Structures are given as structure tokens and as C-alpha cells.
């Protein structure tokens, strides 16, 4: 397996562009057909509703609302919005877990988009294997959907405390992929990194390589995930993996702290390190693009 | 005669204990160090464990409350620590330095802080 790690600068240089917008390894960069319409979607991640540490985020109750207000006023509204897990801060109390999920659900309902999709993170679902999440948010823990010619696959690597995908889900993925053409544009959405980014900080999926191996024969695959609370880009062979920022607290990147660290609030630069992502599928012949957007004070 | 028998029995007993101790010492030398470690929400009983490079170590793990994980990714060591079961992992650190160990089964509110370090020295 040709596995490489890139800094953000390297990744942008590789893509040949600078600034916040850069060509990604998204499916369809080379093969996106003339007949496929443009669309964009938004990735919101790691909301951790219920988190309370003013030294890290003194606006823990307002940050998501600010992001929602910004998204609702975007010049180019998204076709859909997806929350990539850790909607709530974990709690050992099942009643509080349900309350946090309900509060989150009610706030997310304020988003103005044709479609809002969800899946769980380990904070939402590991302690009860997704029971409260499915009761309040609803829907299965892993699923697929198609949008304007792109096949989206949501993988669950969090409802087992292990954390694993598990043999049943890997078999399900194999069956789903068997129905796709080798050049089909495929986007995988998941919470934890599928590759072993840094297992020393629990940034891995134990059997994630099984999923990557299944995806490898497909030419146009990109993975969007959360969990690590900062922007990160990585290639496993031709498959690009893009981690998103959090909307509650940033975590130190690997190599910048001896331990996994929640970065303290910077009063001079409020909301620094927090944000969300827009992903654009542009017209045929031009690459698809991503943009990391900050939370505005 | 009675005194001779008593001395003989005492000598045999001492020899037996000495033999046991010698055998235990020999076993210990082969197996290396043995360290007991309790994994409980949300800490390990020893946040730092000091080891010698090249010397085998057995970590004897127990948990009272949850199936925690014990993982040392740098040495490719991991185990599930099932409550009520004694779990042992044996390995030989082949590098010196500071290496993280962690619970890698999500166990609750304090899971993100349930970790420690192996401090491996050359001598």
C-alpha cells in the first residue's frame, strides 16, 4: 500500500493551488462527466453539545448557533449538510445523553437546507451501541445514498467501543461496492480515520484497512471524517482522507504536544481552530474544491 | 535420634524453600519483570511504568468495571481487559524512550484521559 502523509502545505502544493480553496482528491477530478450537474455540500463535525470548559470554549452554547446562522446565509446554499459525528459530549448518564441529543436535534432543525444528514460519533453512541442516538436522531448507523451521480457511503466505526467496523459491516460494504462501476465517484463519510493516523491518541479504526482495501480498486474515492478536531489531509494510495475541524474545541495536531490536548481559547483570536467545510463539485473539466470556513465572532 | 530427625527435617525444609526460591528466581529471569496494572474508569493504577530496553516484561491486567483496552501502539501490544478475568501481555521493549499506553475501548466520560507512558531506559 502506497501510504503517504502530507502537511497541509504539501497537499496544496500537490494540488497546485494555494489559499483556503484547493483542489482535493475528490472523486471525479478527472472523470466528472459533462452531464453531471454541480452541487455542493457542507460538512459540520464534532459539535460536542454539552461540553463545558470555558477555558477552552467560553461560547460552548453559542458556537453551533453561529455556524448555523452563517450556513443559512451562504451565497451558494448547499444541496445538503452532513454532520460527521460527535453531535454531543459523552455522558455516562443515559438521561442526560438523550437530553443532549434532543437539544442538538432541535438546533440542527434550524438549518435551511434541502437535506440534513447525520451519523454518530463515539461520544454519541459507544456507551449504548447507538440506542439513544437511533431513538432521538433516528436512522441506521451505517447507510448509503446517492446524490447527482455520486455514491455516498456512511460507515460506522464508533458504535462498538472497540472501535471497529466489524465483520458484518465490512461484508455489507463489500456487497455495496460490488454494485459500483470501477470509475464511479464514491465519497465515504465516517467519524474516525479509517487509516491509523495516530493510534497513540486513539486516532484509528482497528479494522479500517479492510475498508480501504475494499475501496482501493475504485478510481475515484474520497473519505471525509472528523474525530481529530483539526484539518488534516492524508493519502492511502490514490484515496484521499480529509479530516474536518470541530465546532466546539480544537485538538493539537500530532507532533505539537506530548499528549492529546484541547487547545485553550485565544481571546485575541476567538474561535480560532473551529470551523466547518464546504465541498464543491464544480463543472466538468474543473476539479472539485473544498473550503475550510471559520466560525465568525 | 529424635534431635537428628528434627535437624534432618529442618534441613530438608530449608533446602525445599531454597530450591523453590532458586526455581522462582530462574523463572523470573526467563520471564523478565512482572507488573500488575489495574484499569478502572478512568485511570490506570500506574500512570508511568519504567522498563529496561531488551528485558521482557509481563503486564498483568485487571479491571473492576468495564472491558477497557490496554494498548501500546509503538510495540504493537494490545489486549482487552475483561472484568473478572486476569489478562497478561508479555513483550520486550526493543527501543528506549517514552511511549504512550492507553485504553482504546471507549469507556465513558473520562476515556480521553485514560492513558499513561512507558519509560524505557537503556540500562
Torsion on CA atoms A46, A47, A51, A52, rounded to nearest 10: 120
Of A170, A160, A107, which is closest to residue A137 (Cα–Cα)?
A107
Q: What is the DSSP string of B9-60?
A: HHHHHHHHHHHHHHHHHHHHHHH-EEEEEEEETTEES-SEEEEETT--EEEE
The fold adopted by the segment(s) B32-121 is Immunoglobulin-like (2.60.40)
Give the pLDDT score at B27: 42
Is residue A282 over pLDDT 80? no
End-to-end CA, chain B: 54
Q: What residue segments make up the domains of chain B, in order of their start?
A: 1-31, 32-121
Give the pLDDT score at B2: 43
Give the pLDDT score at A21: 31
Contact A161 B107 (CB under 8 A): yes
pLDDT-derived band at B31, boundaries 50, 70, 90: low
Q: Mean pLDDT, to the nearest integer, of A172-179?
A: 98
Is residue B23 over pLDDT 70? no
Coil, strand or helix: which one is B6?
A: helix
Torsion on CA atoms A47, A51, A57, A58, rounded to nearest 10: 120
Taking only the tens place, the pLDDT of each residue in A93-141 is 999 999 999 999 999 999 999 999 999 999 999 999 999 999 999 999 9
List CB contacts of A242: < 8 A, sequence separation 6 or more: A24, A222, A223, A224, A225, A231, A232, A233, A277, A290
Taking only the tens place, the pLDDT of each residue in A29-57 is 333 344 444 789 999 999 999 999 999 99
CATH number of this structure's domain A38-294: 3.60.21.10
Helices assigned H by DSSP within A179-284: 208-215
Q: Which of B63, B98, B106, B116 should we substitute to test contact with A (largest number of A Cβ atoms within 10 Å)?
A: B106
Nearest to B112 among A196, A200, A260 (CB): A260
Distance from CA of A63 to the nearest CA of B (A): 22
The residue in chain B having the minimum alpha-carbon distance to the alpha carbon of residue A90 is: B109
Read off the C-alpha cell for A77. 446554499
Contact A199 B111 (CB under 8 A): no
Strands across the sheet containing A275-281: A21-23, A289-294, A275-281, A39-44, A80-84, A116-119
d(CA A275, CA A277) in angstroms, rounded, equals 7
Is residue A5 over pLDDT 80? no
d(CA B25, CA A287) in angstroms, rounded, equals 68
Q: Looking at the complex, does the CB of residue B67 fall below 8 Å from at least one CB of chain A?
A: yes
Coil, strand or helix: which one is A289?
A: strand
Q: What residue segments make up the domains of chain A, in order of their start?
A: 38-294
The label of the residue with cell 489559499 reads A19
For chain A, give the mean pLDDT.
87
Q: Please, how many CA atoms are within 13 Å of residue A269, restricted to the half-sphere of its CB?
A: 6
Distance, C-alpha B25 to centroid of its chain: 16
Contact A161 B106 (CB under 8 A): yes
Contact A127 B102 (CB under 8 A): no
Taking only the tens place, the pLDDT of each residue in B52-79 is 999 999 999 999 999 999 999 999 999 9
Read off the C-alpha cell for A139. 436512522
Q: Please, how many CA atoms are within 13 Å of residue A215, restricted to the half-sphere of its CB?
A: 30
Torsion on CA atoms A169, A174, A175, A180, rounded to nearest 10: 130
How many helices (H) does chain B have, and how many strands (E)? Answer: 1, 9
Nearest to B109 among A91, A199, A206 (CB): A91
Contact A122 B109 (CB under 8 A): no
d(CA A219, CA A239) in angstroms, rounded, equals 8
Task: Show residues of chain A in contact with B102, CB under 8 Å.
Answer: 200-202
Give the pLDDT score at B3: 45
Q: What is the DSSP string of A151-191?
A: EEEE---SSSSS----HHHHHHHHHHHHTS-TT-EEEEE-S
Of B115, B82, B85, which is closest to residue A162 (Cα–Cα)?
B82
Read off the C-alpha cell for A71. 450556513
Is residue B22 over pLDDT 50? no
Distances (CA, A) of A198 to A48, A193, B72: 21, 9, 12
Taking only the tens place, the pLDDT of each residue in A194-248 is 999 999 999 999 999 999 999 999 999 999 999 999 999 999 999 999 999 999 9
Contact B109 A199 (CB under 8 A): no
Amino acid at each position: 500500500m502506497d501510504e503517504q502523509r502530507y502537511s497541509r502545505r504539501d497537499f496544496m502544493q500537490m494540488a497546485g493551488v494555494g489559499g483556503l480553496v484547493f483542489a482535493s482528491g475528490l472523486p471525479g477530478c478527472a472523470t466528472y462527466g459533462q452531464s453531471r450537474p454541480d452541487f455542493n455540500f457542507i460538512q459540520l463535525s464534532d459539535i460536542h453539545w454539552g461540553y463545558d470548559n470555558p477555558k477552552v470554549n467560553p461560547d460552548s452554547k453559542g458556537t453551533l448557533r453561529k455556524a448555523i446562522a452563517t450556513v443559512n446565509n451562504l451565497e451558494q446554499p448547499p444541496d445538503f449538510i452532513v454532520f460527521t459525528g460527535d453531535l454531543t459530549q459523552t455522558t455516562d448518564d443515559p438521561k442526560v445523553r438523550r437530553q443532549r441529543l434532543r437539544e442538538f436535534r432541535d438546533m440542527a432543525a434550524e438549518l435551511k437546507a434541502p437535506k440534513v444528514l447525520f451519523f454518530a460519533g463515539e461520544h454519541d453512541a459507544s456507551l449504548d451501541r447507538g440506542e439513544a442516538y437511533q431513538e432521538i436522531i433516528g436512522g441506521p448507523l451505517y447507510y448509503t445514498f446517492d446524490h447527482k451521480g455520486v455514491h455516498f457511503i456512511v460507515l460506522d466505526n464508533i458504535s462498538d467501543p472497540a472501535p471497529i467496523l466489524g465483520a458484518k459491516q465490512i461484508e455489507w460494504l463489500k456487497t455495496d461496492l460490488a454494485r459500483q462501476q470501477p470509475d464511479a465517484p464514491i465519497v465515504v463519510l465516517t467519524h474516525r480515520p479509517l487509516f491509523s493516523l495516530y493510534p497513540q491518541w486513539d486516532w484509528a479504526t482497528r479494522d479500517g484497512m479492510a475498508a480501504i482495501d475494499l475501496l482501493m480498486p475504485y478510481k475515484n474515492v474520497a473519505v471525509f471524517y472528523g474525530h481529530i478536531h483539526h484539518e488534516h489531509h492524508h493519502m492511502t494510495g490514490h484515496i484521499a482522507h480529509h479530516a474536518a475541524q470541530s465546532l466546539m474545541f480544537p485538538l493539537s495536531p500530532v507532533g505539537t504536544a506530548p499528549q492529546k490536548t484541547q487547545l485553550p481559547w485565544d481571546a485575541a483570536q476567538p474561535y480560532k481552530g473551529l470551523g466547518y467545510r464546504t465541498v464543491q463539485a464544480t463543472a466538468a473539466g474543473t476539479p472539485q474544491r473544498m473550503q475550510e470556513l471559520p466560525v465568525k465572532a | 535420634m529424635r534431635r537428628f530427625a528434627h535437624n534432618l527435617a529442618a534441613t530438608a525444609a530449608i533446602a525445599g524453600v531454597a530450591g523453590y526460591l532458586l526455581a522462582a528466581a530462574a523463572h523470573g529471569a526467563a520471564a523478565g519483570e512482572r507488573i500488575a496494572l489495574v484499569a478502572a474508569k478512568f485511570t490506570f493504577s500506574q500512570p508511568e511504568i519504567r522498563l529496561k530496553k531488551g528485558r521482557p516484561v509481563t503486564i498483568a491486567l485487571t479491571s473492576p468495571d468495564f472491558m477497557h483496552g490496554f494498548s501500546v501502539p509503538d510495540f504493537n501490544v494490545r489486549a482487552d481487559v475483561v472484568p473478572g478475568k486476569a489478562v497478561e501481555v508479555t513483550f520486550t521493549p526493543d527501543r528506549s524512550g517514552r511511549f504512550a499506553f492507553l485504553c482504546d475501548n471507549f469507556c465513558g466520560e473520562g476515556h480521553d484521559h485514560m492513558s499513561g507512558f512507558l519509560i524505557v531506559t537503556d540500562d
